[in-house]
Amino acid sequence: MTAQTIAVIPGDGIGTEVIDAARTVLDAVCARHDVALDYTEFDWSCQRYDRAGAMMPPDGIETLRRFDAILLGAVGWPGVPDHVSLWGLLIPIRRAFRQYVNLRPIRVFDGVQSPLRGAEDVDFVVVRENVEGEYSEVGGRVNRGFPDEMAVQESIFTRVGVSRIADYAFELAASRRGYLTSATKSNGIVHTLPFWDEVVAERAARHPDVRWDSEHIDALAAKFVLQPGRFDVVVGSNLFGDILSDLAAAVAGSIGIAPSANLDPTKEFPSMFEPVHGSAPDIAGRGMANPVGAVWSAALMLEHLGHPAAAADVVTAMEATLAKPETRTADLGGTATTAQVTAALVEHLS
């Protein structure tokens, strides 16, 4: 069997800690399922930026292109402006490889305490548009430092871009509980979001099997808190999906659990798997990061690479580990270290 190739970018802060954990869990599950993965690690990070003046080499994207998948921890560190580090690595990968779907599942696991009452049934997926929308390089700043300084940032929504993310979300909803919510703000934003609504409605007509509605982002944020159990698939633009996915992760108990898959559904390019969280400078280097978000992301990677049984085993191990108070990290009210949680996951897999 030829091995599938994985580019590993641990990045900064707890990115390196949770990727270590994910690699250990992958080794255990792959041995059990006879899956062969061949890893190449890249030290692309803010440390590299300090040393070499760039987050990755000029041919970094070309280098990644030949891999079957990318596993990333997190990038960003105090001292390097976030827009420099993120637009120097993470965002160009998403855009060059047309990873237009950012899939972010949310579940309240047994034993994990949601900050909300009655949230036990929460099980939904945020489908975030991942390559256009509010994240664009179009705009500018003038009169820097003067009273008349101004900054302009354009949002770009295309018919192709909105149609394909809506189709993906409708199809996902059809394979789940058949209910889609589209995040909008067409009452306040007068060009892009009315367009988003129109295109989503057009695509809905092709998916009569899915019940759907549209909610303004402000009211939707409130409903994530008040009625999180009612959602199945939630589709949103790049920025709305970003904010909703951290909110959803908090509803499910901690941002430390939340995974993501940046997918090119055509499989022309490698997809990228990374936890939703960042480099967490406040807890980095203390061995206390929750590795579950990265481990669940690795499970999404296994599924994408065609190993559903191995992926399911990782999720079962996560469920068993989260169910026990002694194998929960501090963000979940426990005292376990990253290494202890990782060891418990491996034990379930052997």
Name the catalytic one among 43, 82, 121, 218: 218
**Can 218 be counted among the known catalytic residues?**
yes
**Span 80-99, contacts to ligand NAD by CB under 6 A:** 82, 86, 90
**Can 242 be counted among the known catalytic residues?**
yes
- Residue 280 contact, options ligand NAD, ligand IPM, Mn ion, none, Cβ 5-8 Å cut-off depending on partner type: ligand NAD
Number of residues near ligand NAD (by CB under 6 A): 23
Beta-carbon contacts of residue 258 (< 8 Å; ≥ 6 apart): 104, 106, 245, 246, 248, 249, 252, 275, 276, 277, 293, 296
Q: Angle, nearest 10°, between helix axes 308-323 and 14-33?
A: 120
Residue 242 sits in the site that holds Mn ion (CB under 5 A):
yes
Q: Which of 122, 293, 310, 318 binds ligand NAD (CB under 6 A)?
A: 293
Nearer to ligand NAD, 76 or 270 (CB): 76
- Residue 14 contact, options ligand NAD, Mn ion, ligand IPM, none, Cβ 5-8 Å cut-off depending on partner type: ligand NAD
Say if CB 273 and CB 262 are below 8 A apart: yes
Output the smallest distance, CB 9 to ligand NAD, in A: 9
Say if CB 290 and CB 254 are below 8 A apart: yes
Residue 86 sits in the site that holds ligand IPM (CB under 6 A):
yes
Residue 243 sits in the site that holds ligand IPM (CB under 6 A):
no
- Residue 277 contact, options ligand IPM, ligand NAD, Mn ion, none, Cβ 5-8 Å cut-off depending on partner type: ligand NAD
CB atoms within 10 A of CB 14: 32
Number of residues near Mn ion (by CB under 5 A): 1
Closest CA to 90 of 205, 321, 329, 260: 260
Long-range CB pairs of 65-68, under 8 A, 24+ apart, other chains included: 65/97, 65/269, 65/270, 66/5, 67/5, 67/6, 67/7, 67/40, 67/270, 68/4, 68/5, 68/6, 68/270, 68/305
**Can 185 be counted among the known catalytic residues?**
yes
Beta-carbon contacts of residue 74 (< 8 Å; ≥ 6 apart): 11, 12, 13, 14, 15, 18, 274, 275, 277, 278, 279, 280
Residue 346 sits in the site that holds ligand IPM (CB under 6 A):
no
Name the catalytic one among 12, 20, 242, 313: 242
Residue nearest to Mn ion (CB): 242
Beta-carbon contacts of residue 15 (< 8 Å; ≥ 6 apart): 45, 72, 73, 74, 75, 279
Q: What angle do CA 255, 261, 267 make, to 5 degrees?
A: 175
Output the smallest distance, CB 206 to ligand IPM, in A: 28
Residue 242 sits in the site that holds ligand IPM (CB under 6 A):
yes
Residue 129 sits in the site that holds Mn ion (CB under 5 A):
no
Residue 279 sits in the site that holds ligand NAD (CB under 6 A):
yes
Closest CA to 280 of 329, 239, 343: 329
Output the smallest distance, CB 91 to Mn ion, in A: 12
**Distance between CA atoms of 273 and 246, rounded to whole angstroms?**
16
**Span 118-157, contacts to ligand IPM by CB under 6 A:** none
Residue 276 sits in the site that holds ligand IPM (CB under 6 A):
yes
Binding site for Mn ion (CB under 5 A): 242
Binding site for ligand IPM (CB under 6 A): 76, 86, 90, 242, 276, 278
**Residues belonging to the active site:** 135, 185, 218, 242, 246
Binding site for ligand NAD (CB under 6 A): 14, 18, 74-76, 82, 86, 90, 255-256, 274, 277-283, 289-290, 293, 329, 331
